[in-house]
Amino acid sequence: MQEVELTVADVMTTRLVTLSPEEHVLDGIDRLLQRGISGAPVVDQNGRFLGTFSEKSCMNAFAVIDNERQRRCEESPSFVRAKDCMQSSLVTVSLDCDVFDAIDKLLTNRVSGLPVVHQSGEFKGVFSERSAMRVLIDLTWNQMSGGPVSAWMDSDRARTVTEQTQLSELRSRFSETHYRRLPVLNHGHLVGQISRRDVLRAELDGLVKSYQSNSGSMMLSEWFTPTPRHQWRVENFAFRHVATVGPDYDLMSVAQEFFLTSARRFPVIANGKLIGQISRRDLLRSVQDLFPREKQPQRPLYLSAAAGDVATVLK
């Protein structure tokens, strides 16, 4: 019985997209969308970690932008509904899908959540990266052998919206919850899904249309820079009090924190400076070969001595 001792340093990502605190918030939003990432660390010129500029930061920024746009242009945001910007081609899983196959789907398709649907198309819940963290904890501490997705999925109906839900409501829902994707239902059946990124793209498209109608020849960030300019710096919308980890943290401790919080990634800090980042996906990939598979002998999964601490938390 071999114990696997992995730390954050073994699996963290070191090539990161970072933002400076002085960057214009619109440039920060555009950078996240162009790179297809949900957040970026904010660091000063010496590499000191200052906070995280996330999709939630962007949502908060657009709430302020809407007010400024209406003041300057005397117009309201265009009427956009969920059905106008949702994704309808989705990767889904069934209620009886093996949980390890579901984790494979998460990793292979590079998504943070999978809608769980009945064979009739009725929406039943979501199996997410956070759900996978619970699977990892159950494997490690309880020595569970797996089971269907239905045992770990999140069935909270408060996370769903309809095709007619307006963009402002979608933004508010994302700002007030930890959800990254909202299933779109029609009479209980899944017809699409809308993510924070979909909302941000729709918000930015609406802003660009206003800019094209009112700006003349100015750059977007120049056109949308009221006095004082420093109001629109990335640092004013970044979250400063975020959880961080050190390079020597063991992976079970990190898995525990991922399960107990809404964080998708943790900055890795050494001596006050950013040296890397670890995400839920990084962690799942690092232990993927330890997940039991059909026709393979079941073996205990040991990641660290932190399993006892996890059990205490889950009681």
Residue 167's CATH number: 3.10.580.10
pLDDT at 75: 55
User: Do 88 and 187 have their domain in common?
Assistant: yes
Provide CB contacts within 8 A for 304, sequence distance 6+. 5, 6, 250, 251, 252, 253
pLDDT at 311: 34
* In-domain check, residue 138: yes
* In-domain check, residue 206: no
User: Do 239 and 281 have their domain in common?
Assistant: yes
* In-domain check, residue 212: no
Alpha-carbon distance of 222 to 97, in angstroms, equals 51
pLDDT at 204: 87
* In-domain check, residue 210: no
User: Do 196 and 105 have their domain in common?
Assistant: yes
* In-domain check, residue 286: yes
* In-domain check, residue 284: yes
pLDDT at 299: 43
Total structural domains in the chain?
2
User: Do 141 and 172 have their domain in common?
Assistant: yes
* In-domain check, residue 154: yes
In the listed set 169, 200, 231, which residue is the last one of a domain according to the structure?
200
pLDDT at 76: 54
pLDDT at 235: 94
pLDDT at 310: 35
User: Do 93 and 190 have their domain in common?
Assistant: yes
User: Do 122 and 186 have their domain in common?
Assistant: yes
pLDDT at 307: 39
Distance of CA 74 to the CA centre of its chain: 34
User: Do 45 and 128 have their domain in common?
Assistant: no
User: Do 251 and 279 have their domain in common?
Assistant: yes
Alpha-carbon distance of 199 to 202, in angstroms, equals 5
Low-confidence ranges of the chain (pLDDT < 70): 1-4, 69-78, 142-145, 210-230, 290-315
User: Do 101 and 175 have their domain in common?
Assistant: yes
Determine the structural domain holding residue 284 and report its residue range. Answer: 8-55+219-314
Does residue 14 sit in helix, strand or coil? coil
User: Do 105 and 196 have their domain in common?
Assistant: yes
Task: Tell me the DSSP string of 104-152.
Answer: HHHHHHT-SEEEEE-TTSBEEEEEEHHHHHHHHHHHHHH-----BGGGT
pLDDT at 157: 81
* In-domain check, residue 60: no
User: Do 87 and 29 have their domain in common?
Assistant: no
pLDDT at 298: 42
User: Do 32 and 140 have their domain in common?
Assistant: no
Provide CB contacts within 8 A for 156, sequence distance 6+. 125
- Distance from the first to the final alpha carbon of the chain: 27
Reported pTM: 0.80
